Amino acid sequence: MKINWKGVYPAVSTQFNADQSLNFEATQTVIDNQINDGVDGIICLGTVGENCSLLPEEKRQVLTAAHEVVAGRVPLIAGTAESRTEGSIEYMQDALKIGIDGCMVMPAMVYRTSQRETEVYYSTLAEATPEMPMMIYNNPVSYGVDVGLSSMEKLAKFDNIVAIKESTTDTRRITELYNKFNDRFTIFCGVDDIALESLMLGVTGWISGLTNAFPKESVAIYRLASQGRYAEALEIYRWFLPLLKLDTIPTLVQCIKLAEQVCGRGSEVVRAPRLVLEGAERDAVIRLVEESMATRPDLNKYL
């Protein structure tokens, strides 16, 4: 199965009204603005999209709204985060009907699967949805399940398992994947604060949280790195790094949505049990974003 997934893919936020009901118009605006600012693809209903805080029917509604606004301009990939294997199959089959281009599949939620269970889980999904391109989301830091080299070797037989979002935080894994599988899988960096290091090691894309607030800077880093202009990419990256670290803490969703709000790109409203930041924590994020906006690099010098 051939895909052409590369570049910067923001894991976009899902926008809510003040009462925490879904705001489809605002969610579409967030996505449209990202595409207009040059991103290469969209991840909908990932962690930042608060997938696990939505009801099943709400997830389908958000995917439908996203598909409508993307309108084929860039690849649209749906985060898949379910607690039951059958639930994941139903979700992926519905995503296929909606017209989604691929699914980024997290390990089964709640229950922490063993290596064998993890392999069977992904194998079952691949067999049940052979027309849906799948990206394995490997994030052992958050989910306690490491889809390692031996597991990927078994999953490589499924033609529709095409990509990996690598979020171990260990950049050595990138080289190990290439050494073992060559170009069998498209590999994305999934950790914001090792993005440039990962691009230098050969990943074809970057799935990012802070791109929601600063898309043009994210795209500039990718473009420069892909041209081998690492010294120039590093100038932007060093400015960006304090912001990128917000993607690596437990309140990443609240931090990113607050950054969006400060930048005039979205609302900080999250759905319970998450709560918006308050007090010193909120002030610190606002101060960081405002300082970053005041000192943001002039991207024209890199054109």
How far apart are alpha carbons 211 and 283 in whole angstroms?
A: 21
Provide the β-strand partners of residue 287: none
**Beta-carbon-side half-sphere exposure of residue 212 (alpha carbons within 13 Å):** 39
pLDDT of residue 137: 98
Domain 7-302 annotated CATH 2.30.140.10: no
Q: What is the mean pLDDT of the chain?
A: 97
pLDDT of residue 75: 98
Q: 221 falls in which pLDDT band (50, 70, 90)? A: very high
Let me know how long the chain is: 303
Domain extent listing, the chain? 7-302
pLDDT at 125 over 90: yes
Tokens of 153: 């070797």
Q: 98 falls in which pLDDT band (50, 70, 90)? A: very high
Model confidence pLDDT, tens digit, residues 22-46: 999 999 999 999 999 999 999 999 9
Helix ranges (H only) for 37-194 are 56-70, 85-98, 115-128, 140-143, 149-155, 172-181
pLDDT at 291 over 90: yes
Annotate 257-274 with DSSP letters as a single string: HHHHHHTTSS-----TTS
How far apart are alpha carbons 116 and 271 in whole angstroms?
A: 34
Taking a C-beta distance cutoff of 8 angstroms, is the pair 19, 52 a contact?
Answer: no
Q: 59 falls in which pLDDT band (50, 70, 90)? A: very high
Tell if the pTM clears 0.85, that is, is over it.
yes
Residue 187 phi, psi (nearest 5) = -115, 125
Q: Of 75, 51, 54, 66, whose CA–CA distance to 3 is shortest?
A: 75
Model confidence pLDDT, tens digit, residues 224-248: 999 999 999 999 999 999 999 999 9
Amino acid present at 28: Q
Model confidence pLDDT, tens digit, residues 210-220: 999 999 999 99
pLDDT of residue 301: 94
pLDDT at 90 over 90: yes
pLDDT at 303 over 90: no
Q: 302 falls in which pLDDT band (50, 70, 90)? A: very high
How far apart are alpha carbons 225 and 1 in whole angstroms?
A: 27
How large is the average pLDDT for residues 90-109? 97
- Tell me whether strands 42-44 and 7-10 are parallel, antiparallel or unpaired: unpaired
Percent of the chain exceeding pLDDT 70 equals 100
Q: 83 burial class (0-12, 13-18, 19+ CB within 10 angstroms)?
A: exposed
Model confidence pLDDT, tens digit, residues 133-185: 999 999 999 899 999 999 999 999 999 999 999 999 999 999 999 999 999 99
Site of tokens 């709400």: 58
